[in-house]
Structure 1
């Protein structure tokens, strides 16, 4: 199916199937995309399959957030310790954080609106696209998967849901940073002490600065895997419908209609 990469006989394609995953256009709620960008910069762009932009904002968030101690300040704010929150913040990094954070929200909203328009045009053109690829490293093809299974595996370990639907790059990225967050937050050590009944020790070993990255990361993995499983299923049905109409519908039996005994 490499000919689809080198030729552009149609203006727009709804999807592309490669060894690294299935990338597709579909309708998205711009407000939901913007909300995910607000929850964690980069997530909104990853949901739009804008991977380079999403990964750049994601890594920027982790680096600048840690340098500014923003998560640590949030924890102090939640517990009512405002003076400590102000004390741990690093103003030079915090002021650098704000404009890029706002940009991530604005750009993901703007991009989702534009991509919805492109999808409607691509849906109208209904151009052919590759649905199967096989190579030395991977095999990928359109088929139907269960959204619930994607959610369950994402809850067990973020990234497994993406592997289930063959979003390889996003899966590796998600799993790698989940390992990073879990290790530096000390959450598994805290669970160990919690099972032993040592509550105080469990609280002390956790690092709030890294811990606050985990809820958004898990939530994104669940949402991303669920939505893409549903949309992949729709894409499979759409492609299958077009294939059957083009290859078989013309051969259907046409029964003559008789009117008052006259054919």
Structure 2
């Protein structure tokens, strides 16, 4: 109980149990209602993404790096490409069973844990929403300034389409932005997709298909989709949080002082 702080930092006299948001120099972390099936689907698309959508960063990073490492060692993406093209025998030969069998339980855990965590966090959000405790909406630190503000979800989508991570920078989701931008560089470099595009512009389709590395290429669609979805959803939810904070502030500080016009008896 020594580390438990039952008071609201903005109002030491008010005891609170749960906050629904926290604004820091690295981003805005908040609770909001999420669909557990959608979060589980993102974990199925790429282990770690479901947890990152929940702002469970350490767990998400661990599962994400596990996916890249073990998938590469098992040659799972290459086997998927061979399966999609009807070459089942080649898919069987390229798979490494030592790493494939290790991959399966963690993959299932990522889906299950993200679903379970989403259900729990939805319950916590409902309790926090009911308590409606104050939270900080502005922070100024040595490296960054962050504050709640309304932004356009469409802008977040467009910037994410240009380069994954830019949409997160637009809404000041710095940790996810750095993570997303770093790994899109890794995927683009090792997949050699830009080299393949170069050959396509030259009309050399055969060379373009030969140079590309499908093992790394298959990481990119999920990565792009996650960057777009995460930027859009968090922009929408940040806008809701901004409105909620403004509504509460105006109600507590101005509504009680409304002007009452006396009725004149003639």
In which range does the TM-score fall when normalised by the shorter chain?
over 0.9
Whether 1:56 and 2:62 are equivalent positions in the alignment is yes
Residues 16-165 of structure 1 mapped to structure 2, 5 A cutoff: 16-165=22-171
Q: Gaps spanning 5+ residues in structure 2: where?
A: 1-7
The residue that corresponds to 2:3 in the other structure is: none
Inter-CA distance 248–99: structure 2 relative to 1 (3 Å threshold): same
1:9: how far off?
Answer: 3.4
Q: Which residue of 1 aligns with 2:193?
A: 187
Q: Distance in 2 between matches of 1:257 and 1:39?
A: 65
SS at match of 1:197: coil
Deviations 1:178-235 (A, max 9, x none): 0000000000000111111111111111000000000000000000000000000000
TM-score by length of 2: 0.94
- How many equivalent pairs are there? 258
CA RMSD, 1 decimal: 1.7
How do residues 166-185 of structure 1 correspond to structure 2 at under 5 angstroms?
166-185=172-191
SS across alignment from 1:183: helix
Q: Following the alignment from structure 1 to structure 2, what is the Cα–Cα distance between the partners of residues 240 and 166? A: 19
SS at structure 1 position matched to 2:99: helix
Superposition misfits of 4+ residues, deviation over 6 angstroms: none
